[in-house]
Amino acid sequence: MLPIQRQAQLSVVVALSLVAAVAHVASADDVAIEVNGQKKGLYPLALPTAVEGDAVAKEIATVEAFDLGVAGVFKIVDPTSFLADLKAEGLGIEPPKWKDVGAYGVVKYRATASEIEFRLYEVSKGTTASLTKTYPRKGETRAIVHRWCNEVVKYYTSEPGFFGSKITFTAKRSVKQGGSAIYAMDFDGAGAYAVSNNSSTNILPAFSPSGGQIAYTSFMRNNPDLYVSSAGGGRPKKLASYKGMNTGAAWSPDGSKIALTLSKDGNPEIYVISASDGSVISRLTDNRTIDTSPAWSPDGSTIAFVSDRNGGPQIFTVPAGGGAATQVSKNGSYNTTPTWSPKKGKRIIAYTTRDGGTYDIVTLDLATGAMVRVTQNDGSNEEPAFSPNGRAIAFARAGQGVFIANADGTGKAVKVWSGSATGVDWGPAPTP
Amino acid sequence: MALEEGELHAFAALGTVLVSAAMMLPFLLPVIFVDRCGNGGADAVRDPMEDMVVIEASLAMRKNPKKPQQPQKQFKAPDDTKKPDGVSRDENKKPDKKPDDEKDKKPDVKEPDLDISKYKRPDSDDPTGKVTEPFNPNASVDVGRDAETKGDPYFGKLKNDMNYQPPEIAKGDSNPIGCIRLEPDGKISDTKFKQTTDDDLQIAAETALKQLVKARNDKPEEVPAHLLQYTSRWICFQFSVKPS
């Protein structure tokens, strides 16, 4: 029999040995494998409709779902999958319930007679809202929701949203009226109105950088001349009426100049004219083939255009101050209607390309050569225009109308206007 | 010494038989040989013959490569539809289409030949797209941090089945660590997070682990014998994102 002191010492030693053994096993648990992923794809966002409230509550949900659904960065979580008790949650959230349905973010709101309160939750951060805004209930509810959605986009991307911006396009008038007119509308198709007010053919509208004016070509005096009118419509001012074509206006980023196609010297060439008096500043192309559809890069340094100098129509770029043209489109034998992404630090164009018997929209990163297909297997899609933040692209689908799609090719295109539309252009971001 | 007529006939008949026998000998000998060897031997005889034929044929092929030819002028039959030169008296005739003016074409830029169809997404209904890069077990050298897991294709497939891909605008750059208990039959019996974070990457990691559990429990892949030792331990994944 060991003395008590000796027994105690032995117990301590045994206990320490056991602890050490457990610790050893615990460290041996770690069979570590590194998983290195890439941030890519859309952000799952849940947008539950407020349980309480009047008809406005439902309108808010509808507008919010549309806006954030076409923002180009979100994937709206299917409401039928929600597990949370919305009534019990109120303006708060139970994070595990939202995590279980795959939501990364949740937007809650509450509409009273005097105000609308919105809250954005990041599920990983728990029950504290990451962004809260309260707006007085004045004016259109849609406009209030647009403002909130712009805040959400800015929170995640640090870029301004495009909700509240406008789109302009050409649409045929009725058979009885004949010709075509220039229209403008909110980006989501609401409030469409005629910008041109003549019975002739009017085509190829282009927003000025400020969004206050629209330039377009009209045959109202038989020759295709260039006119500029207020974006709200009204009497247009004739800007360029050179002999032959005065078409395809593209404003310089500072709004002082317009690039366009003139055929005053024979065949169509790219010129730059003054936006104030229409006088010719420079001629950028000079050859015996057709050069058309100019588009000014956001930094003002380059103009993209279409030329058939190498056979079929292809996209070329030329320095805005003049110089040698370079072919940039390399796919297929038919590429037209280039437009520049406004994304800062990037040189990305979108254009129409022919694929078999139909046309589709693609984007091309001029720095890397990377191409992204924006539309496919769904109608004939032409004449793209980037949203003010470059996340979305509007385009015309033949015989169907104006659509919006994510510029990165994800998701499905959404129709915002029904009819026979062409010549789509997207105006600048709304002022906050 | 003169021979009787009967003797002459007898010699002639004998000579005929001898000459005929001599002529038939090459054909009769193999038959006799085959008969002696039986059926099995028949193969033994036939094969070498056939081989010889094959070898000869192949040699013949090698000995007669296609001779290099000088460039040949392509002859073309005269075009029957060619219209006669001169002035047409047909008042309804439209002018012939002139050939393209080649002077306007600049040969310095190659004709684009990329096929746009290759840019088609695999599934237009898939809003986030699918991971199209196939897993290559032989290229999984980056798998695992420890020497014991590095490069093992089974662990590489585990990683691949998670499809860890945080959304483009996900906030955070943390490193959650999630673990699984792997059973010998390849199913996953338990999971835990050894290190949690409070940003979007935690949700991405949890989603990835759920995908792995579903994939492996729906379609288990038996653990290879050399990895069975790990079925009694937690297998942990440290999640990180590549810098954009």
Percentage above 70 pLDDT, chain A = 93
pLDDT at res. B46: 41
Residues A174 and A294 in one domain: yes
Parallel, antiparallel or unpaired: strands A43-46 and A74-76:
parallel
pLDDT at res. A305: 98
Q: What is the number of residues in chain B? A: 244
Given A157, A184, A201, the domain boundary residue is: A157
pLDDT at res. A29: 52
**Partner-chain contact B244 A372, CB within 8 Å:** no
Task: Give the mean pLDDT of B110-121.
Answer: 55
CATH number at A404 reads 2.120.10.30
pLDDT tens digits for range B117-141? 666 655 444 443 333 333 333 333 3
**Residue B216 located in a structural domain:** yes
pLDDT tens digits for range A144-201? 999 999 999 999 999 999 999 999 999 988 778 888 999 999 999 999 999 999 999 9
- Dihedral angle over CA of B173, B179, B184, B189, nearest 10: -120
Of A102, A104, A372, the CB nearest to B200: A104
Number of domains, chain B: 2
Given B59, B77, B108, the domain boundary residue is: B59
Of A75, A99, A327, the CB nearest to B109: A327
pLDDT at A43 over 50: yes
Residues A284 and A398 in one domain: yes
pLDDT at res. B118: 60
Separation between Cα atoms, residue A44 and residue B69, nearest integer Å: 66
Residues A82 and A188 in one domain: no
Task: Give the mean pLDDT of A296-304.
Answer: 97
Nearest chain A alpha carbon to B239: A35
Chain A residues in contact with B149 (beta carbon < 8 A): 31-33
User: Residues of A numbered 168-187 whose beta carbons fall under 8 angstroms of chain B's beta carbons: which are they?
Assistant: none
Separation between Cα atoms, residue B209 and residue A37, nearest integer Å: 13
For the four alpha carbons of B126, B128, B130 and B133, in that order, the dihedral sign comes to positive
Chain A to chain B, count of Cβ pairs less than 8 Å apart? 188
**Residue A86 located in a structural domain:** yes
Given A124, A157, A190, the domain boundary residue is: A157
**Residue B228 located in a structural domain:** yes
**Partner-chain contact B105 A309, CB within 8 Å:** yes
pLDDT at res. A247: 97
pLDDT at res. B19: 73
Q: For residue A391, what are the domain limits?
A: 166-426
Number of domains, chain A: 2
CATH number at A147 reads 3.40.50.10070
Given A157, A192, A218, the domain boundary residue is: A157
CATH number at B159 reads 3.30.1150
Chain A residues in contact with B140 (beta carbon < 8 A): none
Q: For residue B31, what are the domain limits?
A: 18-59
Interface test with A, best of B203, B211, B239 (most A CBs within 10 A): B203
Interface test with A, best of B152, B168, B238 (most A CBs within 10 A): B168
Given B6, B33, B59, the domain boundary residue is: B59
Nearest chain A alpha carbon to B240: A36
Of A39, A156, A362, the CB nearest to B119: A362
What confidence category does residue B89 fall into, taking pLDDT thresholds of 50, 70 and 90?
low
- B215 is written with which tokens? 């994939």
User: Residues of A numbered 83-142 whose beta carbons fall under 8 angstroms of chain B's beta carbons: which are they?
Assistant: 99, 102, 104, 122-126
Percentage above 90 pLDDT, chain A = 79
The C-alpha of B200 sits at a distance from chain A's nearest C-alpha, in angstroms, of 6
The DSSP line for A312-344 is S-EEEEEETT----EE---BSS-EEEEEE---T
